[in-house]
Structures are given as structure tokens and as C-alpha cells.
């Protein structure tokens, strides 16, 4: 039994290493020209004024770019459906096919874990959130050993105010986080084990950095802590290679 457990652990470790090498070598592909599909609803379904979501895009793994409202549900809280696009395009799409995403205007928050790798988003490399978006609920991009995240970058809007715990836990390909002004709290385990995370820019409004927020990241080049930050939780930077705090 012991040998079987050790073998299973070794196989898991090798698979994780292979995945890590592949995503570290990954490059974010360029957008292609937007493809419209006959029979799909037009932009008026997303937002009462008929303009919300009109310019947002989603790039799929087959290299085709569609309007993002083809898969994003008409809601202020981000949600997805792939059945309509699949049936009308003659292709089979799922969460695993999303590579780049511009979230449509009108979306102001995410439900918990909506884009985490365990929900299928293992190919997602980059996400852009729209102006007006305010709340990133917990576990949004959460990765794990069994479901590694390929996420490299996220673009936050100036309107972001609140983030939940474990947003980028185990996002081992994530390279940088630039948090906008107005955010006051960096939550528990926020980017723990994001081992490729080298650049973090905190806004002057941050007052609290919670426990293990950046544990085991790669912040060897240092980080600037805002003057108004009064609380840094236990192990916030443990194992991060941090050599200087300004």
C-alpha cells in the first residue's frame, strides 16, 4: 500500500511539472477578427440600452473570436452558458475552450469560483474586467494541484473595491497583479502559491494585508507597502523570497 501511495504521488508530481512547464512557455495569443454566428442574439440582449457588452470579446481555443455576450449570461453577476453558441456554430464549446476573455460592460460582480480551473477554465490565460465592476467574490480564479490554473494576467478596472479570499490561490502561471486605488484589503490566501508572481503593485488605499496573502510567491524584487497599511497578517510574505519592503 505504501509503495502504491508513493507511486501515485510521484506520478501526480510529474504530471504537475509537465503542466507547469507547458504553461510557463505559453504565450497569450492575439485576438482574431470577431466572428458573428447566424441565429445568435444581438448585443441588445446584454443591457437594457442595447450597448452593454457590445465591444467585449472571447477568444476560444480553436482561434475563433466571438462577441463575449454569446457566452456571458445577461446578468450583473458574471455567468456563462455554452449550449447556444455550440448548437448554432456547429462546434462544441465548453469552459475549457476559453483562452482570452473581456467581460462585458454591465457585469459588476462575480459569484464565488466562477472562473476557477476546477470548473473547467484550465486554458484561460487572461481576463479583462470592465469599468463599473466592483466586487470580485472569493475563489474566482482558484487553482489546485488537480486542476492547475493557466492564468497569466488579469486587468482590473478603476472601480474595483472588494476582493475575496483565495482569489489566485495556486495560480502558478500568474505573473503580475496591479491592484487599483480604492481597494482597502488584501484577503486571506489571496495569491498564495502563485509561484510565478513577481510583480505586485498595491494601491495607496490598502490598510490590511491578511494572513498568507502572498505566501510562496516570487517577490524577490521587493514590494512597496502603502504608508496607510496598518495590518500585515501572519505569513503574509513567507517563502516569497522577499528581500526588501519599502
Per-residue pLDDT tens digits of the chain, which is 246 residues long: 545 444 444 444 444 444 444 444 579 999 999 999 999 987 777 765 555 666 799 999 999 999 999 999 877 899 999 999 999 999 999 999 999 999 998 899 999 999 999 999 999 999 999 999 999 999 999 999 899 999 999 999 999 999 999 999 999 999 999 999 999 999 999 999 999 999 999 999 999 999 999 999 999 889 999 999 999 999 999 999 887 677
- The rounded distance, in Å, linking the Cα atoms of 170 and 66 is 29
Quick one: pLDDT at residue 178? Answer: 97
Cα(61)–Cα(68) distance, integer angstroms: 14
Phi, psi of 186 (to 5 degrees): -95, 115
Distances (CA, A) of 199 to 81, 130, 216, 240: 34, 22, 13, 11
Per-residue model confidence (pLDDT) at position 53: 67
Q: Please return the burial class of 25, using the count of CB atoms within 10 Å of its CB with bins 0-12, 13-18 and 19+.
A: exposed
- Which pLDDT value is given to residue 74? 75
Instruction: Look up residue 33 and give its three cell numbers.
Output: 477578427
Amino acid at each position: 500500500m505504501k509503495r502504491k501511495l508513493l507511486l501515485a504521488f510521484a506520478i501526480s508530481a510529474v504530471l504537475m511539472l509537465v503542466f507547469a512547464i507547458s504553461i510557463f512557455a505559453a504565450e497569450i495569443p492575439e485576438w482574431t477578427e470577431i466572428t458573428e454566428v447566424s441565429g445568435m442574439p444581438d448585443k441588445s440582449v446584454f443591457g437594457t440600452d442595447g450597448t452593454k457588452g457590445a465591444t467585449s470579446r472571447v477568444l476560444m481555443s480553436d482561434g475563433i473570436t466571438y462577441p463575449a455576450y454569446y457566452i456571458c449570461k445577461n446578468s450583473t453577476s458574471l455567468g456563462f452558458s455554452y449550449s447556444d453558441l455550440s448548437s448554432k456554430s456547429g462546434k462544441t464549446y465548453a469552459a475549457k475552450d476559453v483562452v482570452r476573455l473581456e467581460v462585458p460592460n454591465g457585469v459588476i460582480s462575480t459569484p464565488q469560483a466562477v472562473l476557477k480551473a476546477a470548473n473547467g477554465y484550465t486554458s484561460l490565460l487572461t481576463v479583462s474586467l470592465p469599468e463599473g465592476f466592483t466586487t470580485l467574490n472569493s475563489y474566482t480564479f482558484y487553482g489546485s494541484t488537480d486542476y492547475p490554473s493557466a492564468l497569466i494576467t488579469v486587468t482590473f478596472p478603476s472601480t474595483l473595491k472588494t476582493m475575496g479570499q483565495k482569489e489566485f490561490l495556486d495560480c502558478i502561471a500568474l505573473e503580475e497583479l496591479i491592484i487599483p486605488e480604492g481597494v482597502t484589503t488584501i484577503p486571506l490566501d489571496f495569491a498564495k502559491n502563485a509561484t510565478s508572481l513577481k510583480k505586485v503593485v498595491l494601491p495607496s488605499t490598502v490598510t490590511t494585508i491578511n494572513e498568507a496573502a502572498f505566501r510562496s510567491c516570487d517577490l524577490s524584487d521587493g514590494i512597496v507597502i502603502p504608508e496607510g497599511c496598518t495590518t500585515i497578517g501572519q505569513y503574509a510574505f513567507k517563502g516569497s523570497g522577499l528581500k526588501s519592503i519599502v
